[in-house]
């Protein structure tokens, strides 16, 4: 049916689980539809995105939002509170506009010193650091500079944080200083970042990093003299999420040349400048199945893809081809700095000269392609190769490489600011080729085992992209036989074993031993409990069955120690109570933190039928408890009598005398008596009343067999047979 609800109530309706389809709100449980007053084509917007179809699951009490796939076409699924979390793709400017002065006051009240009524900037930055936001984050520059100006100190970049960030701000001063950075500060402190439980994630990655440190396989590349001098013990990893959370391990500030890792960025820059159609008029998209530097072309007489040497050289020839070599290099270098969000990007001239002197294969590839007219007209082969060698000799470190990878993971937008480097289409095509062609001849195996876009270089660097989540920069010089860093590949494999980062890991039916860092472990548990409580409130037995199948216990309690029985009794849901009590094996009168039972709630709210059901369950539980206690008492008595007889038999055995009236196999007698009803009277009379065994008094039972050890001598009595020794 059609519900004439005002537009303003749309967001409230979303809290109870519905589907917005072209402005219509379709309730999952009731089948109701809602049309906004703005018409059928009303868009629900998130930042700058217009979303036509939005599937929203029932409200969770944890206050989180996770974007997932939905069954409808062009539909996003939103789990949790709609207004709780901004999407990672939102710019900080848009997020800041939604943060009111009330939020600033709350932050100040939470972190202020109550004695001095001031806020310690150092303590605030420590809290941000625990969330993954570092002091050198460009988004905090406005705040840091304002604090430095306020205290008449030098900028943070000129002094260590311990000296320059020691200010204590009052409320008004804090409001003035924080205004330019409130977006990222509020987002981090609310744990609305893509990895909310940052400390747990860092702990797991640290374990993986340390486990890979002892790997000593591989050999440093030696065909370029400068690379052969690298220290094989160097080992560094850096991670940057799409929200700018960063962490580094090992020699993260140690510089190295990009080598082949520059190829994805060169390709993305060319796509942004020229478009996919023109670029792929010169180079293909298929894996070659050949060595990365093999002299070969595809059936169209084009390089197979931009991730091998032939394809990368041709893509370089397309960059600003009407400009001088110096201008082309400056353009490419500036674009790489944009990817790095002004992180360290340098140039190693020694590696450039060394590489140019040993580039016979690349020269051969270029002449072979020129023979088949692969290059654009009037292309200078020497300038193209020089630019290619220069781009391979660009220098960076893992800390910066992780930011560059995170830019690709973020759809071309910088994770440390609102600037967009390349369009989403360019990123999509780049990641696709990295996935299928990025690891030389190991690309297929890496895609199978790790399932993530990646690109490696012969200097020992490796860039891994987890789309929409994070970028990872790795450096370890020793390479395997295929030219990939040994430690880096091992790290990637262990990473997807711990986290569900594999491209085809299901977020719905994920393996229980894998962690989804996009959600807190506590949050997952609390969401399950709250969803179970909500199902008990609404009387949705099918939902309760589903949560039980997912492993949620019906005995879970909320923050008030209330169970699902309390909720169902307070709401008067008799069917839910009966369903739960049929499976309830504990006391059906659990008390909450106030000492109230489900029966108390049913009586207070006047649900007589619920009270009757709970009273009967209580009586049944008492009767069952009494019966169990009686059986336990009887069993204990039998056990005690049996144990006394066994003690007498053992005593007789130790003395060497075993009387036939004492040594009676009670278990056989009990078995015989239990089956007596199935035996005819004639046969029953023929059965012996007891199975007895007499031994000579002068003999010890352990002397029955001289060829066996005493512990192996056991007397066994079979039906209608003499005792035998086994």
Query: What stretches of 16-84 adopt beta strand conformation (E)?
Result: 18-21, 24-27, 44-46, 49-51, 53-56, 66-69, 75-79
Write the DSSP string, 506-545. Answer: -SSS--TTSB-TTS-HHHHHHHHHHHHHHHHHHT-HHHHH
Q: Which one has a higher pLDDT value, 292 or 714?
A: 292
The span from the CA of 554 to the CA of 547, in Å, is: 9
b/e code 496-524 from CB counts within 10 Å (16+ = b): bbbbbbbeeeeeeeeeeeebbbbbbeebe
Task: Report the topology of domain 92-189.
Answer: Recoverin; domain 1 (1.10.238)
pLDDT of residue 639: 55
User: In percent, how much of the chain has pLDDT > 70?
Assistant: 67
Q: How many beta carbons lie within 10 A of that of residue 158, not counting itself?
A: 10
What distance in Å separates the CA atoms of residue 497 and residue 210, rounded to the nearest whole number? 16
Go through the chain and tell me how many residues it has: 726
Q: Give the pLDDT of residue 152.
A: 61
* β-pair type (53-56, 75-79): parallel
Q: Is the pLDDT of residue 410 over 60?
A: yes
Contact 463, 430 (CB under 8 A): no
Cα–Cα distances (Å) from 417 to 198, 467, 468, in that order, read 20, 18, 16
110 Cβ neighbours under 8 A, 6+ residues apart: 189
How does the average pLDDT of the chain come out, rounded? 76
615 compared with 158, residue with greater pLDDT: 615
Residue 109 has pLDDT above 50, yes or no: yes
DSSP assignments along 568-631, one per residue: HHHHT-HHHHHHHHHT--S-S----TTS--HHHHHHHTT-HHHHHHHHHHHHHHHHHHHHHHHH
Q: Are 458 and 260 within 8 A, CB to CB?
A: yes
More confident residue, 143 or 8: 143
* Residue 29 pLDDT exceeds 50: no
Tokens representing residue 452 in the block: 């993530």
Enter the DSSP assignment of 21: E
Q: How far apart are CA 566 and CA 530, in angstroms?
A: 13
The reported pLDDT for the residue numbered 508 is 64
pLDDT, residue 114, reads: 85
Mean pLDDT (whole number) for 664-688 = 42
Identify the residue with better confidence: 513 or 269: 269
Lowest mean pLDDT among 156-160, 568-572, 668-672: 668-672
Residue 530 vs residue 84, higher pLDDT: 530
Q: What ranges do the domains of the chain cover?
A: 7-79, 92-189, 206-498, 521-620
Show the tokens assigned to 596: 């109230």
The stretch 505-522 carries a mean pLDDT of 72
Strand-pairing partners, residue 18, are 27, 56
pLDDT band at residue 510 using 50, 70 and 90 as cut-offs:
low
Mean pLDDT computed over 193-212: 94
Architecture of domain 521-620: Alpha Horseshoe (1.25)
**Tens digits of residue pLDDT in 246-282:** 999 999 999 999 999 999 999 999 999 999 999 999 9
Examine the pLDDT at 522 and tell me if it is beyond 50.
yes
DSSP string, 296-339: ---TTSS-S-TTSHHHHHHHHHHTTTTS-HHHHHHHHHHHHHHH
501 pLDDT higher than 60 = yes
356 near 386, Cβ under 8 Å? yes
Q: What predicted TM-score, i.e. pTM, was given to this entire model?
A: 0.64
Whether 226 and 395 have beta carbons less than 8 Å apart is answered as: no
Residue 43 has pLDDT above 50, yes or no: no
Q: What is the pLDDT of residues 524-560, one digit of tens each?
A: 566 778 888 888 999 999 888 888 877 788 898 888 8
Answer with the residue of higher pLDDT: 657 or 28: 657
- Taking only the tens place, the pLDDT of each residue in 423-458 is 999 999 999 999 999 998 899 999 999 999 999 999
Class of domain 206-498: alpha beta
Question: How many angstroms separate the CA atoms of 60 and 531, rounded?
Answer: 7
Q: Which of 104-113, 679-688, 715-724 has the highest mean pLDDT?
A: 104-113
């Amino acid at each position: 049916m059609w519900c004439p609800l005002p537009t303003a109530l749309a967001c409230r309706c979303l809290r109870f689980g519905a589907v917005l389809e072209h402005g219509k709100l379709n309730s999952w449980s009731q089948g109701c539809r809602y049309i906004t007053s703005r018409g059928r084509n009303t868009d629900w917007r998130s930042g700058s995105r217009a979303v036509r179809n939005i599937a929203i699951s029932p409200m969770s009490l944890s206050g989180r939002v996770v974007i997932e796939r939905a069954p409808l076409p062009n539909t996003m699924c939103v789990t949790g509170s709609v207004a709780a979390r901004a999407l990672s793709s939102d710019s900080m400017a848009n997020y800041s506009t939604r943060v009111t002065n009330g939020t600033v006051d709350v932050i100040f009240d939470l972190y202020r010193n109550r004695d001095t009524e001031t806020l310690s900037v150092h303590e605030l930055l420590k809290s941000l650091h625990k969330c993954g936001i570092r002091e050198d984050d460009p988004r905090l520059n406005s705040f840091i500079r304002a604090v430095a100006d306020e205290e008449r100190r030098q900028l943070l970049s000129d002094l260590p944080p311990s000296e320059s960030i020691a200010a204590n701000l009052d409320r008004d001063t804090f409001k003035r200083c924080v205004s330019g950075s409130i977006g990222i500060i509020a987002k981090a402190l609310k744990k609305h970042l893509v990895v909310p439980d940052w400390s747990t994630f860092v702990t797991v990655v640290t374990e993986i990093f340390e486990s890979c440190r002892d790997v000593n396989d591989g050999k440093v590349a030696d065909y370029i003299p400068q690379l052969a001098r690298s220290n094989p013990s160097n080992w560094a990893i850096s991670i940057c999420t799409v929200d700018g959370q960063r962490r580094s391990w090992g020699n993260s500030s140690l510089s190295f040349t990009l080598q082949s890792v520059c190829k994805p960025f060169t390709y993305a820059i060319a796509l942004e400048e020229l478009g996919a159609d023109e670029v792929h008029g010169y180079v293909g998209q298929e894996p070659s199945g050949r060595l990365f530097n093999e002299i070969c072309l595809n059936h169209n007489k084009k390089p197979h893809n931009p991730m091998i040497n032939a394809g990368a050289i041709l893509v370089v020839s397309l960059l600003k081809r009407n400009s001088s070599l110096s201008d082309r290099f400056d353009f490419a270098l500036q674009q790489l700095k944009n990817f790095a969000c002004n992180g360290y990007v340098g140039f190693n001239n020694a590696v450039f000269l060394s590489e140019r002197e040993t580039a016979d294969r690349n020269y051969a590839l270029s002449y072979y392609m020129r023979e088949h007219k692969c290059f654009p007209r009037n292309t200078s082969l020497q300038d193209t190769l020089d630019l290619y060698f220069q781009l391979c000799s660009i220098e960076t470190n893992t800390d910066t490489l992780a930011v560059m990878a995170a830019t690709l993971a973020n759809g071309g937008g910088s994770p440390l600011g609102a600037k967009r480097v390349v369009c989403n289409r360019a990123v999509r095509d780049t990641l696709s080729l990295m996935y299928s062609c990025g690891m030389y001849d190991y690309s297929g195996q890496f895609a199978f085992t790790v399932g993530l876009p990646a690109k490696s270089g012969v200097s020992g660097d490796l860039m891994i992209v987890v789309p929409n989540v994070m970028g990872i920069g790795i450096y370890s010089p020793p390479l395997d036989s295929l030219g990939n860093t040994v430690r880096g590949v091992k790290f990637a494999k262990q990473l997807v074993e711990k986290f569900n980062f594999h491209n085809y890991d299901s977020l719905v039916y994920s393996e229980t031993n894998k962690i989804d860092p996009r959600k807190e472990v506590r949050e997952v548990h609390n969401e399950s409990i709250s969803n179970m409580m909500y199902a008990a409130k609404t009387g949705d037995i099918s939902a309760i069955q589903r949560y039980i199948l997912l492993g949620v216990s019906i005995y879970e309690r909320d923050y008030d120690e209330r169970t699902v029985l309390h909720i169902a009794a307070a709401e008067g849901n008799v069917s839910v109570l009966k369903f739960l009590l049929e499976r309830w094996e504990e006391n059906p009168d659990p008390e909450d933190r106030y000492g109230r039972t489900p029966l108390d709630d049913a009586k207070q709210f006047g649900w007589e039928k619920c009270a009757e059901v709970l009273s009967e369950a209580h009586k049944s539980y008492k009767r069952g408890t009494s019966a169990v206690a009686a059986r336990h008492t009887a069993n204990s008595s039998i056990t005690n009598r049996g144990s006394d007889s066994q003690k007498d038999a053992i005593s007789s055995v130790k003395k060497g005398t075993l009387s036939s009236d004492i040594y009676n196999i009670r278990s056989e007698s009990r078995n015989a008596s239990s089956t007596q009803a199935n035996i005819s009277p004639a046969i029953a009379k023929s059965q012996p009343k007891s199975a007895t065994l007499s031994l000579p008094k002068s003999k010890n039972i352990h002397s029955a067999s001289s060829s066996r050890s005493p512990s192996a001598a056991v007397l066994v009595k079979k039906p209608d047979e003499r005792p035998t020794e086994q």
